[in-house]
A and B are shown apart, each in its own frame.
Chain A
């Protein structure tokens, strides 16, 4: 629409330069990860790697050192998988049930309850760190993956409830009423009518929760022990370890490995990811 006034070439030029700005760090990460130490010193950020050198990837994955621990990122990656899968599934299912009640089985006060729950989406989690670490201690879950799973389930609940509640609000009441007249109960309506309609919001929530939980650092660094650190903590420790020689190529390979799962999800199911982003913000 601006067409007649601004030459289209200019618009395309600006959009392209912006795209290069966003892509540059990804290129730098990949290019650096394939260089050897000598080439990092002789070349620059944008220089093309001389050869595809997979050594840093191998180091980053299985033998790079963080302090005295030389097992690479692999154990942290495994921890993150063990942590993320149940936490994502539980928080999503739980949110679906809550959202179902708050939209189709409203009762006096349920809107107010929901309003108070909503603050959990925005609150700074710093407030819960100290009490939560004590509670995890009482439960015997300190420094364990079980503890992290529990924390992520509860911390994500406000968001997943919001997603499902807003989605289910659009389901026509008549549909539910008709089913009730036919004798269908609470659970039957949920599993036979509501869940089959939920594929899009399920995708959005699963992806949203996976991205959040995989990328979490705050809970990971505060509540994990030596054997339960998630990948973000592992990567941060590896990249900030103060050894005499900084191996940027290994750091970059490690960063790509840590970012790969969420990137893959984004590339494969980007539309749901974007919907999650906008749903969280536009409709509070």
Chain B
């Protein structure tokens, strides 16, 4: 009986872990194998081509455009969500009336699908009847706004919608961090004659560093994975000017019949996310035994 009690927990989690690991690591390897084949419409494991898919990937203009867009998007999306998010959190932390209502308002976009957000912003940013018409009606006759349909600016529309969706998330995490700070630290600094901006800059921000760090981490990995918003807002267009790696991977694998190339691009995405996330997970898990 005793030995059964010892085995039972392992038996119970076995199915979840076997399937979970097959899904995560098994498929990772499988995808890696596919990326070394010349698969086109259908997976073809007999045609081994080595790293050829990766070579052609890095020679493709479309992939380089996708990477450049990812760079622009990640930087502006993470920074643009983080700064206003933290600002709002600091303001909300000043014993504000209706704080609960305001928080709910800032955060509700997070509950929506990126497809819903994208559909709404596509209408708001559309060149003829959207923002441009609104500004004209408000008296700004020369206002011109057609970013959504211009190849060099479409990605910035994705940034705008992305920030609208995620700034509340940065706010919620920062606020949780601020609430964890002991009031007496601030009082002591005030007694020492420190001004409030100085207190926030020199004392509070350093305490918040881990929170800022994990928020940036979560937002960055979301930005690498972002797919829905681009599909709904621009579908990668005009042409492929607002493509990102995730849409590139989907188009190559499922509509262009370039499975090998799609798998190679997925591997590149995986490597990027792993480079950001693995050190974080490692440090989190290593730190834990000391805490207990």
Q: Is the CB of B5 within 8 A of A259?
A: no
Interface size on A, residues (CB 8 A): 95
Binds A, one of B46-54, B73-81, B146-154, B274-282: B274-282
Residues of B within 8 A of A161 (CB): 16, 20
Q: Measured between C-beta atoms, what is the minimum distance from A178 to chain B in Å?
A: 16
**Shortest beta-carbon distance, A50 to chain B, in Å?**
15
Pairwise interchain contact A158-B120, C-beta atoms closer than 8 A? no
Is chain A's interface secondary structure helix, strand, loop, or mixed overall? helix
- Closest chain A residue, CB of each to CB of B215: A281
Given contacts A122-B277, A236-B231, A255-B120, contact A130 B263 (CB under 8 A): yes
Also in contact, A130 and B34, with CB within 8 A (given A5-B196, A12-B96, A117-B20): yes
A3 within 8 Å of B by Cβ?
Answer: yes
Question: Closest A-chain residue to B109, C-beta based?
Answer: A22
On whether the beta carbons of B266 and A124 are closer than 8 Å, the reply is yes
Determine if A134 is an interface residue (Cβ-Cβ < 8 Å): yes
Does B129 belong to the interface (CB within 8 Å)? yes
Contact between B273 and A122, CB atoms less than 8 A apart: yes
Q: Min CB distance, A218 to chain B, in Å? A: 6
Q: How far is the CA of A126 from the CA of B264 in the complex (A)?
A: 11
Provide the bound-state CA to CA distance between A256 and B115, in Å. 11
CB pair A235 B176 closer than 8 Å = no
Residue of B nearest to A280 (CB): B218
With A1-B196, A12-B96 in contact, is A132–B235 under 8 Å at CB?
Answer: no
**CB pair A97 B12 closer than 8 Å:** yes
Residue pair A45, B130 in contact (C-beta under 8 Å): yes
CB <8 Å contact, A232 and B43: no
- Shortest CB-to-CB span from A32 to chain B, Å, is 7
Q: For B43, what are the chain A residues with a Cβ–Cβ distance below 8 Å?
A: 130, 134
Contact A131 to B214, CB < 8 A, known contacts A3-B94, A19-B102, A124-B224: no
Closest to A151 in B: B23
- In the complex, which of the residues A157, A185, A215, A282 contacts B112, with contact meaning CB atoms closer than 8 Å? A215
Provide the residues of chain B in CB contact with A274, threshold 8 Å: 103, 107, 172
Using Cβ atoms and an 8 Å threshold, which residues of chain B touch A127? 27-28, 31, 266-267, 269-270
- Chain A residues, Cβ within 8 Å of B104: 267, 270
* Residue from B5, B108, B137, B265 in contact with A263 in the complex, judged by beta carbons closer than 8 Å: B108
> Which residues from B are CB-within-8-Å of A18?
84, 88, 102, 106
Looking at the complex, which one of B134, B176, B186, B221 makes contact with A44 (CB distance below 8 Å)?
Answer: B134
Task: Give the residues from 250 to 284 in chain A that come closer than 8 angstroms, CB to CB, to chain B.
Answer: 251-252, 254-256, 258-259, 262-263, 265-267, 270, 273-274, 277-278, 280-282, 284
Q: How far is the CB of B270 from chain A (nearest CB, A)?
A: 5
What's the Cα separation between A115 and B172 when bound, in Å? 26
Contact indicator B115/A236 (Cβ below 8 Å):
yes
The DSSP consensus for interface residues of chain B is helix
Asked whether B254 is an interface residue with its Cβ less than 8 Å from the other chain, the reply is: yes
The B-contacting residues of A in range 86-120, CB under 8 angstroms, are 94, 97-98, 101-102, 105, 107, 111, 113, 115-120
> Do the beta carbons of B123 and A28 come within 8 Å of each other?
yes
Tell me whether A198 is interfacial, beta carbon within 8 Å: no
**Which B residues lie at the A interface, using CB under 8 A?**
5-6, 8-10, 12-13, 16-17, 19-21, 23-28, 30-31, 34, 43, 84, 87-88, 90-96, 102-124, 126, 129-131, 133-134, 136-137, 164, 167-169, 172-173, 176, 186, 195-197, 211, 214-215, 217-218, 221, 224-225, 227-228, 231-232, 235, 245-246, 249-250, 253-254, 259, 262-263, 265-267, 269-270, 273-274, 277-278, 280-281, 284-285
8 interchain residue pairs of minimum CB distance:
A215-B113, A105-B9, A266-B111, A131-B30, A217-B228, A259-B116, A284-B284, A131-B27
Q: Give the B-binding residues of A (Cβ under 8 A).
A: 1-5, 8, 11-12, 14-15, 18-19, 21-23, 25-26, 28-29, 32, 40-41, 44-47, 94, 97-98, 101-102, 105, 107, 111, 113, 115-120, 122-132, 134, 154-155, 157-158, 161, 185-186, 211, 214-218, 221-222, 232, 235-236, 239-240, 248, 251-252, 254-256, 258-259, 262-263, 265-267, 270, 273-274, 277-278, 280-282, 284
